[in-house]
Structure 1
Amino acid sequence: MSRLDGKTAVVTGGATGIGFASAKRFIEEGAFVFLFGRTQSALDKAVAKLGPNARAVAGSINETADLDRLFAAVRKERGKVDILLANAAISEPTPLGQIASDQFDRVFGANVKGLLLTVQGALPLMGEGGSIILTGSSASVKAFPNFSLYAATKAAVRSFARSWTPELADRGIRVNVLSPGGTRTEKALELMGDEGVAALAKATPVGRIADPDEIGAVAAFLASSDSSFIAGSEVFADGGIAQV
């Protein structure tokens, strides 16, 4: 496959999970990928697996100086950004009544403010045909106990895509949301445990949770010209859990 030949992609939260699976698929389809994440050792392992068409920059999406370093590296080596997968996010499941003020700031800071700063940092390098993919969640439209804070951040992400689509239309840049359901990532397995995974799989119409590669395939579709008439949309890859 070569749908992304010559394209340059930036993936935040790209060292593991959905970010890594998406980066892998992008490279398989011809793209050159820059990973961004907080942990250098995890990024190094990811780049070693992905091969010569991957680079990594360590930093935080909450720090404009770190994002400046990321996009300076992209500009120096590639000169442009064709695909941005704003995937980095955190989740701290907590029941209502126990959500602390600093926890609110932390989760909204990463999932909303950090995403905004990432997109704004990429825009000067993006032009006609650019694709911005924001990682959402089925939790934004389906209630899961103890996930109200996380769900609210993902609803904000969906709102961003609606607002930014007409703002960027004249530049030929599309914005869409990719919203997974339960996915077999290291973070999810740690968060849910075996019992939680089994319960979520049972509640999902297809009878299982996703493999990260399945979500990466949808990301590649949204990154490519195959989705050229899709803009401002939320694409659910959730096994039907928020659909039926």
Structure 2
Amino acid sequence: MGKTIVITGAGVGLGRALARRFASEGETVILLGRTFSKVQALAEELGEPHFAVECDVGSADSVRAAFAKIAERHPKIDVLINNAAIYEPFMVEKATDDQILTIMNTNFAGPIFTCRAAIPMMEKGGTILNVTSESVALEFPMLSLYASTKTGLERFTDSLSLELQPAGIRVSTVRAGPMYEAGKDMNVHWDPAAAQQFYQLCGEAGIHLAKRPISNVTSVTSVFRAMIDLPPDVRVTHASIEARHA
């Protein structure tokens, strides 16, 4: 019998690639996204029994409502993948209140909200995968809040793993490097001036973005498949995905 897998940020990029893969392999995927039209379009593409639920993970009320809808059809879930995140470069001195709070709420509070909602619906053998970033270890300019939220998420993951160990629920970090989705402009919502400054400062810091290897999102899904399929007597607390030149 297939697993029931909840994926946040499922409308684009890695989330969409994971949903397509798991659906093709007989799992039931529940697609969470802030923009309902995106996750609904994917749900229609995948067909039944997969379905979409509108959810802004940065809002505790939205998460509660989303998981209440999930519970109507699936009182038990097997896997939660916290993939949703805001990735935007900016200088702190120029950051708006909305930029700061949206990143903090989406990237850090969001996975805590979804874990809190999902844990009562999980049983022994359940899996929670929290997606973080290479920016935890590699110092990028203009990504102070993004890197801080991902660092905090890794620390939260370690603590939650110990907390849920008696219940038999595995909690792991998947730290991801650069990746792309064919046909999708990764930086379409960035302020052009901030984007130009980001690329310039990265180059000055020795991080040459145009020369770095980048992985296709479909390739990255294999790591998540392996993490979900671990034998019951094995746990992997941290996996790092790095891009390489093929």
TM-score scaled by structure 1? Answer: 0.85
SS of 1:27's equivalent in the other structure is: helix
Measured after TM superposition, the shift of residue 240 of structure 1 is 6.0
Matched, 1:53 2:58: no
Distance 1:38-1:187 versus aligned 2 partners, 3 A rule: farther
Quick check: 1:200 aligned with 2:213?
no
The reply to whether residue 65 of structure 1 matches residue 69 of structure 2 is no
Partner of 2:76: 80
Residues in 1 aligned to 2:162 and 2:70: alpha-carbon distance in whole angstroms: 26
**Aligned counterpart for 2:10 among listed residues 8, 11, 14:** 14
State the Cα distance separating 1:101 from its structure 2 match: 4.1
Q: Does 1:132 align with 2:128?
A: yes
Aligned: 1:236 with 2:240: yes
| Mapped partners of 2:166, 2:235: distance in 1 | 15
Question: Aligned partners of 2:159, 2:244: CA distance in 1, in Å?
Answer: 26
In the alignment, the residues of structure 1 paired with residue 107 and residue 163 of structure 2 have an alpha-carbon distance, to the nearest angstrom, of: 21
Contact 1:10 / 1:83 at 8 angstroms: preserved in 2? yes
Q: 1:110: which partner in 2?
A: 106
2:204 matched residue in structure 1: none
Compute the displacement of 1:30 (Å).
2.1
Q: 1:44 to 1:228 in 2, by over 3 A?
A: farther
Matches of 2:167 and 2:227 in 1, distance apart?
Answer: 17
1:211 maps to what in 2?
A: 216
1:209 shift after superposition: 0.7
Q: In structure 1, what is the Cα distance between the partners aligned to 2:7 and 2:218?
A: 15
Does the 8 A contact of 1:138 with 1:180 survive in 2? yes
| 1:200/1:209 contact within 8 Å kept | no
Separation in 2 of the partners of 1:109 and 1:127?
27
Give, in whole Å, the separation in 1 of the partners of 2:231 and 2:46: 24
Structure-1 separation of matches of 2:243 and 2:210: 9
2:168 is the alignment partner of 1:163: no
Which residue number in structure 2 is paired with residue 172 of structure 1? Answer: 168
User: Which ranges in structure 2 are unaligned for 5 or more consecutive residues?
Assistant: 200-206
25, 28, 42: which is aligned to 1:32? 28
Cα RMSD, aligned residues only: 2.4
TM-superposed deviation, 1:201: 5.3
The equivalent of 1:220 in structure 2 is 225
Equivalent pair of 1:95/1:146 in contact (CA under 8 Å): yes
Deviations 1:108-136 (A, max 9, x none): 11100111101101111011000100010
Counterpart Cα distance in 2 of 1:176 and 1:20: 20
Going from structure 1 to structure 2, the CA distance change for 1:26 and 1:177 (only over 3 Å counts) comes to same
SS of the equivalent of 1:34 reads: strand
Residue range with higher mean Cα deviation, 40-49 or 223-232:
223-232
Match of 1:154 in 2: 150
Q: CA deviation at 1:216?
A: 1.7
Counterparts of 1:123 and 1:231, CA distance in 2 = 19
Name the CA distance, whole Å, in 2 between partners of 1:122 and 1:22.
19
**How far apart are 1:50 and its partner, in Å?**
1.9
Assess, with a 3 A threshold, how the Cα gap between structure 1 residues 53 and 199 changes in structure 2: closer, same or farther.
Answer: farther
Amino acid at match of 1:157: L
SS at match of 1:188: coil
In structure 1, what is the equivalent of residue 186 of structure 2?
188
Higher relative contact order (CA 8 A, sep 6+): 1
State the secondary structure of the residue aligned to 1:176.
strand
1:144 aligns with 2:140: yes
Greater shift after overlay, 213-222 or 148-157? 213-222
Unaligned stretches of 5+ residues in structure 1? none
Please report how far the alpha carbon of residue 44 of structure 1 lies from its aligned counterpart in structure 2 after TM superposition: 1.8
The ranges of structure 1 where at least 4 consecutive aligned residues each deviate by more than 6 angstroms after the TM superposition are none
Q: After the TM superposition, which of the residue ranges 72-81 and 118-127 deviates more from structure 2? A: 72-81
